[in-house]
Amino acid sequence: AQKVTQAQTEISVVEKEDVTLDCVYETRDTTYYLFWYKQPPSGELVFLIRRNSFDEQNEISGRYSWNFQKSTSSFNFTITASQVVDSAVYFCALSEPGYSTLTFGKGTMLLVSP
Amino acid sequence: DAGVTQSPTHLIKTRGQQVTLRCSPKSGHDTVSWYQQALGQGPQFIFQYYEEEERQRGNFPDRFSGHQFPNYSSELNVNALLLGDSALYLCASSYEVGLAGGADTQYFGPGTRLTVL
């Protein structure tokens, strides 16, 4: 069975601080996909990134970066120079190939104060 | 390019009633998945529809049923509502890439907030 653990329930930072959101996953599949979604107060889940299990390269997109390490089954997400607009709940999710169904973690609520 | 749309936005029902939620997928997508998100929790997979058939189901009772129409839109029906069915119901759409093709990204709608009294 697949499982995603986001141990940080809530993180509070001050604007311009860097923050890292942790994600640890469990799966018996050798091929799998990892995702991060952002859920602002409006409720809609916004797709941020997708990574497949064969691609361990870290990725940077603007202020966002992702560190995928198969050896520790982790897919961590870092926001550099955080902004108030980054305040949201962030979910890490895992998918098996083919059906695209997602197993989500419980989410980490990020609060960025000015 | 319209994204995933859901209706209604909010809904209030009483225990024992039945409810129907609707979803229109993103343009070009043919697969619809439904998720239930209880307060403070991550979304939980309910079921997925492709080619008008339910092809995968999560751990939800038969009170939860669905349908997909030829235009790929979908409905989620919940019978005999319980207080515990109160949640945000999210619809996600994706493009079927086949079992050997990997998993395509799911795009979510704004959700329907269901309150059962």
CB B97 within 8 A of CB B103: yes
A27 touches chain B (CB under 8 A): no
Q: Do A101 and B108 touch (CB under 8 A)?
A: no
pLDDT on residue A55: 83
Nearest to A98 among B99, B109, B113 (CB): B99
pLDDT on residue B12: 98
pLDDT on residue B99: 54
Among A34, A28, A35, A37, which Cα is nearest to A54's?
A34
Per residue, the 3-state secondary structure of A53-102, as one string, reads: CCCCCCEEECCEEEEEEHHHCEEEEEECCCCHHHCEEEEEEEECCCCCCE
Q: Do B104 and A97 touch (CB under 8 A)?
A: no
pLDDT on residue B97: 64
A30-56: per-residue pLDDT in tens? 889 999 999 999 889 999 998 888 888
B51-94: per-residue pLDDT in tens? 899 988 999 999 999 999 999 999 999 999 999 999 999 999 99
pLDDT-derived band at B100, boundaries 50, 70, 90: low
| Euclidean distance between CA atoms B92 and B108, whole angstroms | 4
Nearest to B102 among A42, A52, A104 (CB): A52
A30 touches chain B (CB under 8 A): no
| Euclidean distance between CA atoms A50 and A75, whole angstroms | 11
Q: Give the burial string for A56-79 (b: 16+ CB within 10 Å, else e).
A: eeeeeeeebbbbbeeeebbbbbbb
pLDDT on residue B103: 60
Q: Do A106 and B42 touch (CB under 8 A)?
A: yes
CB B93 within 8 A of CB B31: yes
- Give just the sign of the alpha carbon dihedral A86, A88, A89, A95: negative
pLDDT-derived band at A108, boundaries 50, 70, 90: very high
B-chain CB neighbours of A107 within 8 Å are: 41-42
A43 touches chain B (CB under 8 A): yes
| Euclidean distance between CA atoms B117 and B115, whole angstroms | 6
Say if residue A101's pLDDT is above 80: yes
A50 touches chain B (CB under 8 A): yes
**Is beta strand A74-79 parallel, antiparallel or unpaired with respect to A19-21?**
antiparallel
Say if residue B3's pLDDT is above 60: yes
Choose the mutation target among B36, B44, B57, B106 for the interface with A, i.e. most A CBs under 10 Å.
B106
Say if residue B96's pLDDT is above 80: no
B-chain CB neighbours of A43 within 8 Å are: 88, 110-111, 113
CB A71 within 8 A of CB A86: no
**Is beta strand A108-113 parallel, antiparallel or unpaired with respect to B10-13?**
unpaired
- Mean pLDDT of the region A60-78: 93
A11-33: per-residue pLDDT in tens? 999 999 999 999 999 999 888 99
pLDDT on residue A57: 81
| Euclidean distance between CA atoms B107 and B59, whole angstroms | 22
**Residue A12: other Cβ atoms inside 10 A:** 12
